């Protein structure tokens, strides 16, 4: 995992979002003994300890040497079929999404089900900067400075029952706001899922921003999942419902093409997509490909979750 100092953002990119993020900065500064006031990201100890690598290229195969993708790259090259199937479509058409007002329902096998207003939720859980790789199944990747909080913090608050084994996530369904849903490209709404222990892992976050700014619509506003050791389609966007369940959820891509998109979707260079190799990836902004890292470089932190599993069968 990567922890980097937040780059300066050009003043031309700053909008009235600044009022919102100044409030976030105040909360984090109070919690972080003024670190944010000095321009450094708030980094919790668990995340720092999970980094594993060293700047001399050790640990996670030189992970700390990775360069952040630019704000423009991150916000103009996206997969978000609700706004079109082209990589540039979300940036063109996602302006129709209205991220306020917005609620997130947390329900299912929990003792304290709750519907949260998005701003109420963000007051409850101060955001942290976490710099993760996001790798998509088409063999491209980015390194993104997310602003988010651990999904586990929210799940602990609703108190899962002893029957909860999986977590199901659902995206907004509203063809007026999401014009791509007017086409039967996928069965809508988009649904994804994790095993409960994956969801509770400290690397799994709900993100509400990136590069110190409110999360852009095309990147999954106002709230998206980020699971850094899995392919990008697992990190569902624009979440409106989180449901804890007993059985493995029927997730969108796994229903549409189960031979191509497994439920687990762990990054694994030894398991190719039927139509292309996954052994190498192209970092957006770079010319040449690089070797794909097992579990996206986070094996030291998450491999124990899959001990004894046949990762070719449970791909």
CATH code for position 300: 3.90.420.10
Q: Is there a domain that residue 249 lies in? A: yes
Within the chain, which residues score under 50 in pLDDT?
1-21, 23-64
Those residues with Cβ within 8 angstroms of residue 124's Cβ, 6 or more apart along the chain or in another chain: 116, 157
Number of helices (H) and strands (E) in the chain: give both, helices first.
9, 12
Name beta bridge partners: 119.
none
**Cα 46 to Cα 221: distance, rounded to the nearest angstrom:** 26
Q: Is there a domain that residue 150 lies in? A: yes
Q: Name which of 33, 40, 31 is nearest 212 in CA terms.
A: 40
Structure confidence at residue 200 (pLDDT): 98
Q: Is there a domain that residue 312 lies in? A: no
Torsion angles phi and psi, residue 282, rounded to 5: -115, 115
List the end-to-end C-alpha distance of the chain, in Å, as a whole number: 22
Q: Is there a domain that residue 3 lies in? A: no
141: three-class secondary structure by DSSP: strand
Q: Is there a domain that residue 4 lies in? A: no
Q: Is there a domain that residue 56 lies in? A: yes
Residue ranges making up the domain that contains 55: 11-306
- Cα–chain center distance at 15: 24
**Cα 27 to Cα 86: distance, rounded to the nearest angstrom:** 38
How far, CA to CA in Å, does 38 sit from each of 31, 127, 181, 298, 309? 14, 17, 44, 29, 45
Q: Is there a domain that residue 26 lies in? A: yes
Burial 49-74 (b: 16+ CB within 10 A, else e): ebbbbeeeeebbeebbebebbebeeb
Structure confidence at residue 66 (pLDDT): 84
**Cα 53 to Cα 297: distance, rounded to the nearest angstrom:** 10
Q: pTM to 2 decimals?
A: 0.83
Q: Is there a domain that residue 65 lies in? A: yes
**Cα 251 to Cα 225: distance, rounded to the nearest angstrom:** 14
**Cα 60 to Cα 228: distance, rounded to the nearest angstrom:** 14
Structural domains of the chain, count: 1
């Amino acid at each position: 995992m990567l922890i980097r100092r937040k780059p300066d953002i050009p003043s031309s990119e700053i909008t009235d979002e600044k009022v919102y993020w100044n409030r976030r900065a105040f909360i984090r500064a109070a919690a972080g003994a003024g670190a944010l006031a000095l321009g450094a990201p708030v980094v919790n100890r668990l995340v720092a300890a999970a980094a594993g690598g060293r700047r001399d290229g050790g640990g996670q195969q030189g992970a700390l040497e990775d360069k952040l993708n630019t704000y423009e790259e991150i916000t103009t090259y996206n997969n978000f079929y609700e706004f079109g199937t082209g990589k540039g479509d979300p940036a063109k058409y996602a302006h129709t999404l209205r991220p306020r007002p917005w609620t997130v329902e947390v329900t299912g096998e929990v003792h304290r089900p709750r519907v949260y207003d998005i701003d109420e939720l963000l007051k409850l859980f101060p955001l942290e900067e976490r710099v993760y790789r996001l790798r998509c199944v088409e063999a491209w990747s980015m390194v993104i400075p997310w602003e988010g909080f651990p999904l586990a913090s929210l799940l602990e608050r609703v108190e899962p029952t002893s029957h909860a084994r999986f977590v199901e996530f659902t995206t907004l369904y509203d063809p007026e706001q999401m014009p791509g849903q007017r086409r039967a490209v996928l069965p809508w709404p988009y649904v994804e899922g994790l095993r409960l222990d994956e969801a509770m892992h400290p690397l799994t976050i709900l993100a509400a921003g990136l590069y110190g700014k409110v999360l852009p619509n095309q990147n999954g506003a106002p709230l998206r999942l980020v699971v850094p050791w899995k392919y990008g389609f697992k990190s569902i966007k624009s979440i409106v419902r989180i449901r804890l369940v007993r059985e493995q959820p029927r997730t969108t891509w796994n229903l549409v093409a189960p031979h191509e998109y497994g439920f687990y979707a762990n990054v694994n260079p030894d398991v190719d997509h039927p139509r292309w190799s996954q052994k190498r990836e192209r970092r957006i902004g770079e010319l040449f490909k690089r070797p794909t890292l097992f579990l996206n470089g986070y094996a030291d932190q998450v491999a124990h979750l899959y001990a004894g599993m046949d990762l070719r069968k449970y791909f």
